[in-house]
Amino acid sequence: MHVVPSFLRGAFHRSLALGAATASLLISSASPARADALSKSVEIDFFRDSSSRHLKGLATRSDGRIIAGPTFTDLKGSPLADLLWNLVPAGDRRWLVGTGPDGRVLELTVDSREGTYRSETFAKVDDGQVFALTALPDGRVLAGVSPNGGLYLLERDKTVARVVLPVDSLLDLCLIDARTALVATGNPGRIYRVDLERLAAAGVSPEKVVDAAKLEEKGIRLFGEVRDRNLRRLAIHPDGRVIAGSSPKGNLYTFSRDGGAPLILHENRDAEVTDLVITPAGDLYASFVFSTTAGTARINRPTPVAPTGTTEKEPPSPPPTEAGVPERFSGRSSLVWFPAGGGFPETLLSRTGVAFYRFLKRGDHLLIASGEQGDFLGYDLKERRSLTFPGSASTQLNGLAVLDDQRLLALRNNAAGLALIDFSASGTRELESRRLDVGTLAQLGAFRFGRLRELGDQEITLSIKTNHGSDEIEGWTEWTSLEPVEGGWQVQPALRGRYLKFKLGVKSTVPPSFEIDKAQLHYLSQNRRPVLTDFRLFSPNYAILPAPVPAPPASTTLGQLLGQTKESGDDKRRNVLLGSAVVAAPGNQIAYWTLNDPDGDTLAATFSLRRQGEETWTDLAVASETPFVQFDTSTLQDGVYFTRLVVTEQAPRPVADRLTLRFETDDLIIDRTPPKLAEAQARIEGDRLVLQVRGTDAASLLEGVEFRFNNGLTESVEQPVDGIRDGRTETFRLELPLARVAGATSVEVLLFDAHVNSVSARLSW
């Protein structure tokens, strides 16, 4: 008779606990699972999955839809400069542009009908970068430069006045009236008030003026100062307050109309205020650019860099070669609204990987010139939605200016030039998506829109190209047109790939009020082979009595429909398994496995075994979707048995496409022969009783010895004398104080092997 020792029962239960997670499918056979469809779909959100520079005449909205947008056209003209800093209206279709690093002020004349511009030098300054520029009502120009902090009053081809302030850079200019201006500076962050008539009378001063009294003589006095290093932007509120934005903290300050100490309107950290817009009603809008890590540049420096002393980050040089691609901007930008009347600020728009440079208000829209991919963005104040408009192939849009009710001028850098943004044009309307990833190689099916408003299928063109690799340039197929079929767009024969791009066109005759809803792209993933993630043989002579699987609930909650509170099938089966009874079953053997199919196929497995030296396999479970088998070993001869699993995909996978895989699994040892006792001794050494047992087994490892004394004491030993329990011959030793065995005269010794076979002997002393 085989007796199960306590130490072996504990070992088995520990094994069961470790295997519970893997064997969570054991009980699934009581309730067959519904087979999901093999085909899948990916949502195409046009706002998320397209970029500004790949839009033409279309715009995308934050709800994922496509709507009509402006056209973005680069104007033709002679090269202007390496760097273009600002775009200022000068009246009668004339514009002023401050440049770098040559320190010129250019005057531009734009012919929007011909799509051209002409440029000539209005004036040249002695410093490298014309960061700040404004046209005065009398035709003169006020300019602020870097790196030496010079303030210039210019006429055509003439410097009327020049004062070098005790700062590094002049960053913004703001007119209070026809004869008074405010100047924002960098390093330190100050605002100076300038009397333009006294400045003109002061003439050209070659040296930096540090003394406040001498500055006062030239019509310049300190208006206010902040602790942040730079004051980047200035604006005047209708109530007379002066609003100033700083960097590198990115704070907003307010000054009274007479200057003095500032109040903090809005505090930030590691940010730059890039633009301010104030409406006549008193609403303030501010754009902030945030750096994610210390030292992250908002924009890339050109080569060569500006002279030492400048505090600004210049736009980049022309696009670098592939070997020298600059680090992509990893910060984010936000557009914040400060309501009139002192309401709390509200963030309207935030984008990552984009730097907001300048913006303006046009009707109910805020239009934003951005970088580092030439993005032209917007925000609908009425609908509270973000917009992406067609952008530039240049990396930065540094400025915007209103040409008329329907058209804007945009200043672009890298490469430098001018562009026309026309909201009334009805030319080409086209969108090219970003590279999309469906996750695995797949056969692409139909492309379906949620809804088309005010346009039909025949007014849309759609083409697609695919790639097996992720390279943006190499490995793509040619563009292939898709044709409308039953409310969707398809191509035959079906294209294959993991990555794809699509191009969508809308005919120019479509009314501008059209909308294209988000789309679904259907696909069938490559059929990948099943994987055996775990296979285990339980200790023999045990059986599981599966607990019944609870019936599915009669009702479904809203949370389950939304997928928020739904319990997974694995969790259910694990809970059922933990409630199953484990009972002793002499001669019983359990084998279980865990299979995984990357595509979610239903799998069936055939479990077989054969005795070593024989050729015939015996199937113990055939085409079973239950990942375990229990069988009786009493009819099997002692010996080593090879086991295998043959796994086959099932419906809904078509028969011709089903994959079959064979796994050779763990060897099963059938051993009903007890071990042999080679030595069993009991002797008294001093005040201790020493018991030593040595045994051997023909097929299995020895597990340990249990000692049962006739005074009721029971002890077990699992650690052999040599320290490692790793053999079919082992020696076990137990030493006890005589006081522990007082009254006992004999002990029954039971030696066990790994298959719970035991041999016993009785010893006395």
Residue 543: strand pairing partners: 583
Which has the closest alpha carbon to 761: 645, 702, 682, 661?
682
SS3 state of residue 741 = helix
pLDDT at 259: 96
In sequence order, the 6+-apart residues with CB closer than 8 A to the CB of 290 are: 250, 268, 270, 271, 331, 332, 333, 334
Contact criterion met (CB below 8 Å) for 695 and 759: yes
3-state secondary structure of 764: strand
Contact in structure between 536 and 594 (CB atoms under 8 Å): no
Report which of residues 302 and 75 the model is more confident about.
75
Alpha-carbon distance of 16 to 21, in angstroms, equals: 9
What is the per-residue pLDDT for 35? 52
CATH class of 676-764: mainly beta
Distances (CA, A) of 585 to 4, 383, 582, 589, 631: 11, 71, 9, 9, 10
Kindly state the tokens that stand for 19. Answer: 């295997």
- Whole-number pLDDT of residue 673: 93
- Model confidence at 448, pLDDT cuts 50, 70, 90, reads very high
CB atoms within 10 A of CB 330: 11
pLDDT score of 36: 66
For residue 152 the two structure tokens come to 């210039």
How would residue 105 be classed by pLDDT, with cut points 50, 70 and 90? very high
What is the secondary structure of 223-270 as a DSSP string? EEE-SSSEEEEEEE-TTS-EEEEEESS--EEEE-TT--S-EEEE--SS
Tell me the average pLDDT across 490-507.
Answer: 94
pLDDT of residue 316: 39
Residues 6+ apart with CB under 8 A from 739: none
Least confident of 32-46, 480-494, 712-726: 32-46
pLDDT score recorded for residue 124: 95
Instruction: Round the average pLDDT of the chain to a whole number and report it.
Output: 88
Q: Would you state the structure tokens that stand for residue 498, as one six-digit string?
A: 């993991």
Average pLDDT over residues 41-62: 96
* Calpha distance 332→322 (Å, rounded): 25
* E-only strand ranges, 491-541: 496-506, 515-516, 519-525, 531-537
Q: Per-residue pLDDT for 302 more than 50? A: no
675-697 residue pLDDT tens: 999 999 999 999 999 999 999 99
Which of 424, 534, 342, 368 has the alpha carbon at shortest distance from 73?
A: 424
The pLDDT score that the predictor gives to residue 575 is 64
Query: Is-contact 590 620, C-beta < 8 A?
Result: no
Check whether 571 has a pLDDT greater than 80: no
pLDDT band at 569 (very low <50, low <70, confident <90, very high): low
Q: d(Cα 334, Cα 436) in Å, to the nearest integer?
A: 26
When mean pLDDT is compared across 190-194, 230-234, 290-294, 454-458, the lowest value belongs to 290-294
- Cα–Cα distance between 445 and 493 in angstroms, integer? 10
> Above 60 in pLDDT, residue 488?
yes
Dihedral sign for Cα 196, 200, 205, 206, please. positive
pLDDT at residue 609 tops 60 = yes
Q: What is the mean pLDDT of residues 379-383?
A: 97
Architecture of domain 56-319+326-429: 7 Propeller (2.130)
**How many other C-beta atoms are found inside a 10 Å radius of the C-beta of residue 111?**
13
Helix (H, G, I), strand (E, B) or coil at 15: helix
Q: Which residues pair with 434 in a beta bridge?
A: none
Q: What is the pLDDT of residue 540?
A: 87
The pLDDT of 501-518, averaged and rounded, is 94
Return the minimum-mean-pLDDT range out of 541-550, 616-625, 636-645, 658-667: 541-550
Q: Is 605 helix (H, G, I), strand (E, B) or coil?
A: strand
The predicted model gives 462-490 an average pLDDT of 94
State the pLDDT confidence band at 128, using cuts at 50, 70 and 90. confident
Of all residues in the chain, the percent with pLDDT exceeding 90 is 76
Encoding tokens for residue 305? 């860099």
For range 636-642, the mean pLDDT: 94
Q: How far apart are the first and last CA of the chain?
A: 26
Lowest mean pLDDT among 217-221, 318-322, 465-469: 318-322
Q: Which neighbouring-strand residues pair with 4?
A: none
The pLDDT, as a whole number, for residue 580 is: 74
Alpha carbon 320 to its chain's center: 26
Query: Smallest Cα–Cα separation from 438: which of 467, 397, 478?
Result: 467
Apex 572 CA angle, 567 and 575, nearest 5 = 125
What backbone phi and psi angles, to 5 degrees, belong to 447? -110, 120
pLDDT in tens, 129-175: 999 999 999 999 999 999 999 999 999 999 999 999 999 999 999 99
Report the b/e string of 668-684 with b at 16+ CB within 10 A: bbbbbebbebeebebee
Domain boundaries 6-39+529-670, corresponding CATH code = 2.60.40.10
Note the pLDDT of residue 525: 93
Model confidence at 2: pLDDT above 50: no
Query: Which pLDDT does position 174 carry in this prediction?
Result: 96
CA distance readout (Å), 754 to 541, 544, 695, 721 = 11, 20, 13, 18
CA distance 630 to 540: 10
Q: What would the two tokens of residue 576 be?
A: 């059922």
CATH topology of 56-319+326-429 equal to that of 676-764? Answer: no
Predicted pLDDT at 418: 96
Q: Summarize the confidence of residues 596-601 as an average pLDDT.
A: 90
Q: What number of residues does the chain have?
A: 765
Q: Is the four-CA dihedral 335, 291, 98, 228 of positive or negative sign? A: positive
**Model-level pTM?**
0.77
558: CB partners within 8 A, 6+ apart: none
Q: Where along the chain do its domains lie?
A: 6-39+529-670, 56-319+326-429, 435-517, 676-764
Handedness of CA 128, 129, 133, 135 (dihedral sign): positive
98 DSSP β-pair partners: 86, 105
- C-alpha torsion angle, residues 149, 273, 407, 378 (rounded to 10): 160
